[in-house]
Amino acid sequence: MSAILAPVAAATEESPMTDGFHLVIDALKLNGITTLYGLPGIPITDLTRKAQGEGMRVISFRHEQNAGNAAAIAGFLTGKPGVCLTVSAPGFLNGLTALANATINCFPMILISGSSEREIVDLQQGDYEEMDQLAIARTLCKAAFRVLHAEDIGVGIARAIRSAVSGRPGGVYLDLPAKLFAQTMDAAAGRRSLIEVVDPAPLQIPASEAVQRALDLLKSAKKPLILLGKGAAYARADAEVRALVERTGIPYLPMSMAKGLLPDTHELSASAARSFVLPEADVVLLVGARLNWLLSHGKGKTWGGKDAKAWGGQKFIQIDISPTEADSNVRIDAPLVGDIGSCVSALLAGMGADWPRAPADWVQAVAERRNKNVAKMADTLAKDPKPMNFHSALNVVRDIVKANPDAMLVNEGANALDFTRAIVDMYKPRKRIDVGTWGVMGIGMGFAVAAAVEIGQPVIAIEGDSAFGFSGMEVETICRYQLPVCVVILNNNGVYRGTDKNLGGGSDVAPTVFVKDARYEKLIEAFGGVGVYATTPAELRQGMEQAIRSRKPTLINAIIDETAGTESGRITNLNPQRQAAASSSA
Which residues make up the interface to ligand TPW (CB under 6 A)? 413-416, 439-442, 464-467, 490, 492, 495-497, 565, 569
Residue 217 contact partner, candidates ligand TPW, ligand ADP, none, CB within 5 to 8 A by sort of partner: none
Residue 229 contact partner, candidates ligand ADP, ligand TPW, none, CB within 5 to 8 A by sort of partner: ligand ADP
Phi, psi at residue 506, to the nearest 5°? -75, -175
Is 20 an interacting residue with respect to ligand ADP (CB under 6 A)? Answer: no
Pick 128 or 438: Cβ nearer ligand ADP? 438
558 with 534: CB under 8 angstroms?
yes
Residue 415 contact partner, candidates ligand ADP, ligand TPW, none, CB within 5 to 8 A by sort of partner: ligand TPW
- CB half-sphere exposure, 438, CA atoms < 13 A: 15
- Pairing between β-strand 554-559 and β-strand 485-491 as defined by DSSP bridges: parallel
CA angle 348, 206, 284 (to 5 degrees): 60
Pick 16 or 323: Cβ nearer ligand ADP? 323
Nearest distance in Å: CB 93, ligand TPW: 14
Residues 92-151 that bind ligand ADP (CB under 6 A): 105-106
Helix 153-165 to helix 20-30 angle (10° resolution) is 40
Residue 490 contact partner, candidates ligand ADP, ligand TPW, none, CB within 5 to 8 A by sort of partner: ligand TPW
**For the chain, what is the total number of helices (H) and then of strands (E)?**
24, 19
Cβ-Cβ contacts under 8 Å for 293 (sequence gap 6 or more) = 574
Residues 311-330 that bind ligand ADP (CB under 6 A): 320-322, 325
Query: CA 113 to CA 91: how far, in whole Å?
Result: 8
Nearest distance in Å: CB 441, ligand TPW: 4
CA 460 vs CA 301, 431, 535: distances in Å: 35, 10, 18
Among 26, 264, 339, 476, binds ligand ADP (CB under 6 A): 339
Residue 441 contact partner, candidates ligand TPW, ligand ADP, none, CB within 5 to 8 A by sort of partner: ligand TPW
Nearest distance in Å: CB 137, ligand ADP: 21
Residue 255 contact partner, candidates ligand TPW, ligand ADP, none, CB within 5 to 8 A by sort of partner: ligand ADP
Is 340 an interacting residue with respect to ligand ADP (CB under 6 A)? Answer: yes
Query: CA 459 to CA 453: how far, in whole Å?
Result: 10
Among 131, 136, 294, 348, binds ligand ADP (CB under 6 A): 294
Is 427 an interacting residue with respect to ligand ADP (CB under 6 A)? Answer: no
Among 72, 210, 257, 270, binds ligand ADP (CB under 6 A): 257
CA 490 vs CA 263, 394, 411, 438: distances in Å: 25, 9, 11, 21
Query: CA 24 to CA 194: how far, in whole Å?
Result: 9
Nearest distance in Å: CB 138, ligand ADP: 20
- The residues pairing with 208 across neighbouring beta strands, listed in sequence order, are none
Residue 496 contact partner, candidates ligand TPW, ligand ADP, none, CB within 5 to 8 A by sort of partner: ligand TPW
Cβ-Cβ contacts under 8 Å for 75 (sequence gap 6 or more) = 81, 82, 102, 107, 108, 109, 164, 165, 169
Residue 499 contact partner, candidates ligand ADP, ligand TPW, none, CB within 5 to 8 A by sort of partner: none
- Helix or strand run (H / E) with residue 308: none
Pick 289 or 414: Cβ nearer ligand ADP? 289
Least Cα distance to 351 among 238, 210, 219, 222 occurs for: 219
532 with 539: CB under 8 angstroms?
yes
Q: How many residues does the chain have?
A: 586
223 with 282: CB under 8 angstroms?
yes
Pick 28 or 393: Cβ nearer ligand TPW? 393
Pick 324 or 364: Cβ nearer ligand ADP? 324
Nearest distance in Å: CB 76, ligand ADP: 10
Q: Is the dihedral of CA 463, 465, 468, 470 positive or negative?
A: negative
Query: CA 369 to CA 367: how far, in whole Å?
Result: 5
Pick 334 or 461: Cβ nearer ligand TPW? 461
Pick 114 or 436: Cβ nearer ligand ADP? 436
Residues 214-233 that bind ligand ADP (CB under 6 A): 229-231
- Judged by the rule CB under 6 A, the positions of this chain that interact with ligand ADP are 105-106, 168-169, 229-231, 234-235, 255, 257-258, 288-290, 292, 294, 320-322, 325, 339-340, 437
